Amino acid sequence: MKRVSIYVRGKVQGVFFRASTVSAAQQIGVKGFVRNEPDGSVYIEAEGDVEKINELIAWCKIGPPRARVEAVEVESLATFMNFTDFSVSR
């Protein structure tokens, strides 16, 4: 099991990035949340099997069709939150 924080920078707000991340995370099988940040980035916290987390990170580097991802920063987090689903956080 692995828990990570992911910052996605670029043209990632107003392009359905959050909704697409929820769909991708649910298909992949990871739990957590996604939210827009005031600086225009998108912040994600996710936990799950290492392979599935890596799959979500790879997806974030591309994003939905209208997104233009410029950078993805990933940090491992020590404690688990035991999320029950993947959702948009406000």
The residues annotated with a catalytic role in the active site are: 18, 36
CA dist 56 to 35, 39, 46, 70, 75, Å? Answer: 15, 22, 9, 16, 13
Angle between helices 50-60 and 17-28 (to 10 degrees): 150
Tokens coding 40: 């225009």
